[in-house]
Structure 1
Amino acid sequence: MEIFVLAFFALGYLVLAGADIGVGMLLPYLGRTPGERRETIAAIAPFFLGNEVWLVVTAGVLAGLFPALEAELLHENYPLVVVLLLAWVVRDMGLWLRGRVPGRVWQAAWDGAIVAGSWGLALCWGALLSVVALGIQGPLLVLPALALTALFGTHGLAFAALRLRGVLRERAALLSGGAGELRTFALTAATLATVGALTGVRLEPVAGTSGALLVPVSLVMIPLLVAAQAWVWWTFRHRVTGPSYL
């Protein structure tokens, strides 16, 4: 049961947060003026914080239920994890700070932070999943990491096509065939989930001693989290019509 709880939250993070990471990666392509970039960011604004909750819960489940696996992953991939966390902080700083002070230079600097942080997240997740799933080390690690980064980008394009309108939607629908963005999003989501599941198969988790407490709590929290996520998606199901608070 413990491994299913971990898999649920980890795969949920990859599918949900993979979309806003992909949008951030392709921000210069989707938004070619300050106004367009702000409208593009509005596509992910209601979701990105909620998506990050899935990663926080995943880390908590990993530490509480699989402490030996957590120690192994952190010890063997310490540099990747550090860079991943730095990219996460830089991306979120960009999202929160870009609209706090008027001026093109200020906004352009934080837009760059969003792009750099998003690429850093995608590359680090791609490298980390590749190391665990394929056991590749050294320069050859770049190839599967880039392939997974491209998957994040494709996932973000499909999500942006679902959320944006007009010329922004046309740009985002480059790989979706016009009105096929929902089909493309479902396909990229399934592919990310499959990659995550295949990575998990290569792990050898040994449950710790906290399962008697954490598993029941997790089973109670899962329906609440899913309901909250569904409510957010339903509330913001309409296409973006203008800039957001970011």
Structure 2
Amino acid sequence: MELTTVWFALIAVLWVGYFTLEGFDFGVGMLLPVLARDDTERRVLYNTIGPVWDGNEVWLLVAGGATFAAFPNWYATLFSGFYLPLLLILLALIVRNLAFEYRHKRDSDAWRRGWDTALIVGSFVPALLWGVAFANLVAGVPIDRHQNYTGSLFTLLNPFGLLGGVVTLLLFVTHGAMFTALKTDGDIRHRARALAVRTGVVAAVAAVAFLAWTQLRTGTAGSAVVFVVAALALLAALAAAAAGREGWAFTGTFVTIGLAVVGLFLALFPDVMPSSISVAYSLTTSNASATPYTLTVMTWVAVIFTPLVLLYQAWSYWVFRRRIAVHHIPAAA
């Protein structure tokens, strides 16, 4: 197997890690005004993702860095063409992350409400725009023979792209509700589980429509199989949630999101950024890649350090595995 194919697969794995882990982060943030009835319950939700959110975002940093090093032409065209959506995502992530650090710094209801709003908006914007970006990436965008993006922001806001954004938004909300039901106890746990079933039904309808549309446009036999299994995993997750099996329910949404990302990358391969102007102008794993020497060095680095990162993150989740309830939250200082 060529190293370009290996690194395309590794980048796909990094995005799987980011969306499956950061996805429930976004979901919990968006559900803050829905699930929490008072400040103590809001603090419960903050504490469910407080120990892990920053580690989850590392997957995004590594995915961006790996794309820059392994496929520099892909990185250049993607970040110049999708500049405004990616800038909005970056700003939303910055504001969102500040909410974790600054919400408790002042004893003021207005102060806390402001940072709660930052968390909600900072979770909503990336959840929507990542779906829009990936849908357009798979469907193809106007790229000329010089590998330059020739469209605008409104080019990306097409029906297929917007449906992709709605799907990621709904899946992350459902994923976040499943995680909340898994990590909390008491009334908030039961409300989260019930909400996960309701939002999951809507997410399932939207996801099936989007994945079927993707398959008809650019799909392969491999992506078709993966999409079907992803849909079945989501249905199994909803059944598990309805039965009160929160661990299996969360596993189901985790698998659903992961397989959906895998299917999108299978539908994309061997392109990394197809051109809607001409197939000849598309960026592929061959014409967008770095030199073989660069890919060889990167491969050895990945072989050495990736297991260490996975072990550390697994250990952190194990340490913070216990459920959180209202009675665990101390009185505000």
Report Cα offsets for 1:180-234 as digits up to 9, x if no partner. Answer: 2222212211221122223323123343122121111111111101101110111
Instruction: Report the TM-score, using the length of structure 1 for normalisation.
Output: 0.94
Among candidates 183, 193, 207, match of residue 248 of structure 2: 183
Q: How far apart are the structure 2 equivalents of 1:137 and 1:53? A: 26
* Residues 235-244 or 7-16, more deviating: 235-244
* Residues 3-12 or 20-29, more deviating: 3-12
Q: Tell me what 2:264 maps to.
A: 199
Q: Tell me what 2:299 maps to.
A: 215
Shift of 1:55: 1.0
Asked if the contact 2:68–2:75 (Cα under 8 Å) also holds between the matched residues in 1, the reply is yes
Shift of 1:178: 5.2
Q: How far apart are the structure 2 equivalents of 1:40 and 1:66? A: 38
Q: How far apart are the structure 1 equivalents of 2:188 and 2:138? A: 36
Say if 2:21 is the partner of 1:16: yes
Report Cα offsets for 1:28-50 as digits up to 9, x if no partner. Answer: 11212111101111000111011
Q: How far apart are the structure 2 equivalents of 1:240 and 1:67? A: 44
Q: Tell me what 2:320 maps to.
A: 236
- Aligned-residue CA RMSD (Å): 1.8
Q: How far apart are the structure 2 equivalents of 1:143 and 1:214? A: 35
Shift of 1:139: 4.2
The secondary structure found in structure 2 opposite 1:98 is: helix
Unpaired segments ≥5 residues, structure 2: 1-5, 141-154, 198-240, 273-283
Shift of 1:179: 2.0
Q: How far apart are the structure 2 equivalents of 1:32 and 1:125? A: 29
Asked if the contact 1:133–1:198 (Cα under 8 Å) also holds between the matched residues in 2, the reply is no
Written as runs of structure 1 = structure 2, the 5 A alignment for 1:37-52 is 37-52=42-57
Q: Tell me what 2:162 maps to.
A: 142
Report Cα offsets for 1:65-91 as digits up to 9, x if no partner. Answer: 111111121122111111111111111
The one-letter code matched in structure 2 to 1:61 is A
Q: Tell me what 2:211 maps to.
A: none
Q: How far apart are the structure 2 equivalents of 1:106 and 1:122? A: 25
Asked if the contact 2:132–2:163 (Cα under 8 Å) also holds between the matched residues in 1, the reply is no
Asked if the contact 2:133–2:156 (Cα under 8 Å) also holds between the matched residues in 1, the reply is no
Written as runs of structure 1 = structure 2, the 5 A alignment for 1:1-246 is 1-135=6-140, 137-140=156-159, 141-174=161-194, 175=197, 176-177=241-242, 179-201=244-266, 202=268, 203=272, 204-205=284-285, 206-209=288-291, 210-241=294-325, 242-243=328-329
Instruction: From the CA coordinates, give the structure whose radius of gyration is larger.
Output: 2
The secondary structure found in structure 1 opposite 2:104 is: coil
Report Cα offsets for 1:115-148 as digits up to 9, x if no partner. Answer: 0000011011111111112348434232331122
Runs of 4+ deviating beyond 6 Å = none
Instruction: Report the TM-score, using the length of structure 2 for normalisation.
Output: 0.70
Q: How far apart are the structure 2 equivalents of 1:124 and 1:67? A: 23
The one-letter code matched in structure 1 to 2:296 is A
Q: How far apart are the structure 2 equivalents of 1:157 and 1:237? A: 17
RCO comparison, higher one (Cα < 8 Å, 6+): 1
Unpaired segments ≥5 residues, structure 1: none
Identical columns (%): 32
Aligned residues: 245
Shift of 1:56: 1.0
